[in-house]
Chains A and B, each alone.
Chain A
Amino acid sequence: MNSFLVMLRRELRSITKEKTIMFAIIIQFFIASFSSIILVGIMAFYDPSSIGRNTQIPVQVGIVGDTSSPLSGYLKESRLVVTSFQSANSAQAAFLSGHIDAIMAIPKSHDGVVDMKLFLPELDTKKTVVFMALDEPLKKYENHLREANGIELNYQDVGGEPHTSYEFLYSVIIPVLMLFPALIAGSIVIDTVSEELENKTFDTLMSAPVSLNQVLSSKIFAAVVTAAAQCLLWVGLLRLNAIFLQNLGLVLLLSVIMATTISVGTAIIALHFKDRERAQFVYAILLVVMLGGSYFLNPSPFSLLTQLAAGDPNIGAPEVALYAIPLIIISTIFFKVSKRLVSVAG
């Protein structure tokens, strides 16, 4: 045990010395920032109402034609500034002079179907903002017309809050942050193992009073400790941003299990292929396969992390414990074959 700790310390020192963790953190910081950009992008498309609600820009709409249409009421309800114009010319003049942002031409009468026209500014960004602001009142008006046709829509006022960012945070950002350290751990293991193999330093190590499995598991353990440290760091940073993970212990446990499984797996890959180039490539491709394959698992590690972190009441320790099974299997295989794999290297 003592020699294991010595080996572990050696591995950890080599990781910290090369500022590995710092790079890892920088990378993940990038990814997190990047995700928040994606989030804004997705919100803009997918949940425009939340942006429309949050924009402080007052949108001014000019109405021509049927100025008494219920639509103008809906527009006002959504805090848009509505101006009625007697003629198209005056509306256009107001538009050109910048007093209004959009013109709606509502036909004065209709037979159940309203074909109206909407004039938007050509400028890209402005068009989008105006359009987002108009989204809700237009939908209300459409439902009003449906009711007039004798059609009733259910579930119109269910309530609740816009869920896009919540969904994105818990089903993308948090799982990525918790699993990315595990992927890095796999890379670290390949590098350290293949480095020893390529420099033929394994032989030297073997002459010391340590077993091969001690050497290898110290490498794996060092990588896992690094991964766990990163996860903890992320939990702290999320906390600073007022995002609290539920089932924290289980979330961390699952991340560590994943990191260990991947690290043991990559150790096997590295020992088998002997050189870094092939090992990294196989690892990268295998990751794609595993990510794809895990999608069909229920729950997949990804969605299990989501459910745990979001506080799903029906998910808990048993589901996490299931993931210990592949870890045990792969570790057993690893300790059985490690010696043979190294000796094949000759």
Chain B
Amino acid sequence: MKNILTISKREITRLRTRFSGKSRIAVLAILFLALLSSYIIYHQDMVISKGLYVVGVSADAPAIADQRFHVIELDQQTGYTMLREGTIDAYINGNEVIHRDDQRSQYTTGALQQYLERQELNRIASEYEIDSGFPLRIEIDYLETQGPDSGTATSASLSDIMEIAEPPPAPAGIQAETLISDATVPDTPPPSPEPAVPGTPETDEISNNEPVMPQPPPITRATDDAVRQQLDKFKNGNRLPEFKAEFVSEEEIIIPSLMTPPIPLAQLMITFFYVVPIFFVSLFFTSSFTEEKVNRKLIILLSAPVTPQQIILGKMLPYIGYSVICIIAITLVLGGNVLLALAIFIPVMLFIFSIYLMVALTYRTFKDQTFFSVLALSVVTVYLVAPAMFTGVSNLSYISPLTLAVEMYRGESFGLIEYFLATTPLYLVFLQVMYIGTRVFGEEYLMGFRPLHHKIAEALYLTIDKTHLNTSVLLLSLFLVPIVFMAQLFAIVCATNLPMPLTFILIVMISVIIEEVAKSAGIIVLLQNNAIKSWQKVIPLAALSALGFLLGEKLLLFLALRIISESMFINALFSAGLMVVPFCLHLVSTAVVCLMAMRLGIKYYLLAILAGSVIHFIYNLYVMGAIL
């Protein structure tokens, strides 16, 4: 621990001397400008498509205050001529919108329609009472789709429906049901046209058989508040600070026309606020690491009585500290829960650091490093942001911790399982990279100048503990699962660009190939380095690798399914059939790959992978065929 701190201190001093004197002032000034401009933009309504549409308006047309539209006031004749000539995209003549048939004009009109509708709603809200202006209020309730055996909740909502749907049978009945139903839910007005007179319910009591509602007249409604609230929100528009992204809002009561769904900007904003500063910090980390590597200072350090682990941790610690400070500061500024934010973003931070550590360990020139850093940056961003875009739409979005952050800022809660699904892969990647990092931390690997795949093979070989081959291979496959999972996610992201049936086949194929590579990689590097030579050794290792992979895969799937769907999937998942058959498959395909590579030579590894993948692919198609 002391060694780690010593190295950390040295790292901080190094950073400080780097930015001293004039350059410190310059950097601080630029940093200040960056903060200032982000702040100003944050407080402006950010419009990304300034002046995209060109619109002509007549004198009596409503004012258009939206920067997306480039507005020109034109009299009717010029307007029509210019529209025909294509110098404007649409012309608003009083209450009419005139457009052409080409796409540009059509899109412009679509955008205008949306904008004008919004303006109309604002006009109605200011000109009329909310009762007449917003006459439809819908209360949302959720019903479980499970069998009738599950749920006392459903029977309660049943009575709610009864209450509205059927004419009230008897006064006593009504009162009983009002008690059961939610107190905020307004009852339907009585079927009789005249409103009940308040103040004299006692005298009427059970005097006749006609049902009389014991409610005050419907002048103030419970739903009015909901309308007002949503109107306020509507008038403020889609301002950025609002961390809201769910389509079906959490309000129980919705008003159809006010239900303009918010743009899911929250996810992007959170990425921007949290992840970008972490990226900046980690940029320093890799830079410093690479520089000391190139200057051979790291190698010199190794001759001192410190372990590789201490060196890595020591050099990383200051930057981790800076990132944590960033996270805390940002959360305080945004008014979030600091502990929760730390719980969510520390794994994200560790993940980013570990990716960058691998880049720094593997690459020697700065140019390479720049590119791999940018690549890593985009990959990590995709991994974090893409699933989070679907917060509230699909539970699959929980594979990204940003989803948790979005929920935190919306004041919603999430369970431990969601937390683990989102963060476990990240923690695991960090631990793995730390382990790999300490294993490969030697002069030969750090200074070696070889193509990427050789570097990876070398790293794998160094990682495997040669005295415990069996355990190592099993654990290697197990721990590669999160990486495989992420790689497959990218395959899905990339394949979405293609037409549908192709996408599907491609995803399955790529996934299969990635899995085959992951399972066989460890055994192949052992073969390559002549650590194992006979098929008697290869087959048990293939079995162990298959087992490790299967365990990891099922564990992850278990977490995912726990969140996505019902318990029956989980029972099915662990039933014997679904464990033994896939195990056989993994064993066969891995063994085929390894034995082929052994026979033909490592040169033909790709061919071997293809052979194994074909087996795996056919099996997958068969399984899916059986399911579909």
Contacts and interface: CB of A to CB of B under 8 A. Distances in A.
Asked if chains A and B come from one complex, the reply is yes
A322 B162 CA distance: 70
Interface in A3-39: 18, 20, 23-24, 26-27, 29-34, 36-38
Contacts of A292: 34, 37-38, 40-41
A114 B135 contact: yes
A172 B48 contact: yes
Interface in A299-345: 299-300, 302-303, 306-307, 310-314
Contacts of A127: 142, 248
Interface in B103-122: 103-104, 106-114, 116-117, 120
Given A117-B141, A187-B374, A277 B18 contact: yes
A20 B143 contact: no
A192 B367 contact: yes
A194 B19 CA distance: 17
Contacts of B504: none
Nearest to A290: B37
Interface stretch (B384-392, B580-588, B607-615): B384-392
A214 interface: no
B97 A151 contact: no
B186 interface: yes
B186 A115 contact: yes
B120 A163 contact: no
Contacts of A126: 145
Interface stretch (B152-160, B345-353, B404-412, B568-576): B152-160
B261 A289 contact: no
Given A92-B154, A96-B148, A117-B164, A314 B54 contact: yes
Contact of A91 (B23, B50, B147, B161): B161
A146 B132 contact: yes
A154 interface: yes
A57 interface: no
Nearest to A110: B189
Nearest to B44: A295
A163 B111 CA distance: 6
A26 B54 contact: no
Nearest to B130: A113
B137 A96 contact: no
B112 A48 contact: no
Most buried by B among A34, A46, A65, A153: A34
Contact of B375 (A27, A48, A293, A299): A27
Interface stretch (B279-287, B331-339, B546-554): B279-287
A221 interface: no
Interface string B237-269: 000000001011000000111010111100010
Contact of B33 (A38, A278, A289): A289
Interface stretch (B24-32, B304-312, B618-626): B24-32
A300 B131 contact: no
Interface stretch (A228-236, A252-260, A279-287): A279-287
Interface size class of A (residues with CB under 8 A): 35 or more
B111 A154 contact: no
Interface string A181-203: 00010011001101100000000
Contacts of B140: 117-118, 120
Nearest to A34: B382
B288 interface: yes
Interface stretch (A75-83, A131-139, A205-213): A131-139
Nearest to A136: B256
Given A41-B264, A105-B161, A285 B31 contact: yes
Most buried by A among B103, B112, B135: B135
B144 A122 contact: yes
A277 B288 contact: yes
A290 to B, nearest CB: 9
A115 B375 contact: no
Nearest to B490: A30
A234 to B, nearest CB: 13
Given A46-B261, A92-B161, A171-B52, A163 B110 contact: yes
Given A65-B165, A159-B109, A113 B138 contact: no
B389 A158 contact: no
B501 to A, nearest CB: 15
Contacts of A313: 54, 86-88
Contact of A38 (B189, B248, B389): B389
Contact of A88 (B88, B106, B162): B162
Given A113-B218, A117-B138, A23 B375 contact: yes
A48 B247 CA distance: 9
Contacts of A192: 367
A155 B147 contact: no
Given A41-B390, A122-B143, A155-B97, A285 B30 contact: yes
25 contacts: A27-B374, A31-B378, A34-B382, A34-B493, A64-B165, A105-B160, A111-B195, A112-B131, A112-B132, A114-B135, A120-B141, A121-B145, A125-B395, A139-B257, A151-B128, A154-B95, A280-B370, A285-B34, A288-B38, A292-B40, A298-B50, A306-B51, A307-B51, A312-B54, A313-B54
Given A23-B374, A115-B188, A120-B140, 13 more contacts: A20-B367, A23-B372, A23-B375, A29-B494, A30-B490, A30-B494, A42-B263, A124-B394, A145-B135, A161-B109, A170-B49, A311-B104, A313-B54
Interface of B: 18-19, 23, 26-27, 30-31, 33-34, 37-38, 40-41, 44, 46, 48-52, 54, 68, 70, 86-88, 95, 97, 99, 103-104, 106-114, 116-117, 120, 124, 128, 131-148, 154, 157-158, 160-162, 164-167, 186, 188-189, 191, 195, 218, 221, 223, 245, 247-248, 255-257, 259, 261-264, 268, 280, 283-284, 287-288, 291, 365-368, 370-372, 374-375, 378-379, 381-382, 385-386, 389-390, 392-395, 490, 493-494, 496-497
3 closest cross-chain pairs (CB), A and B: A292-B37, A160-B109, A41-B389
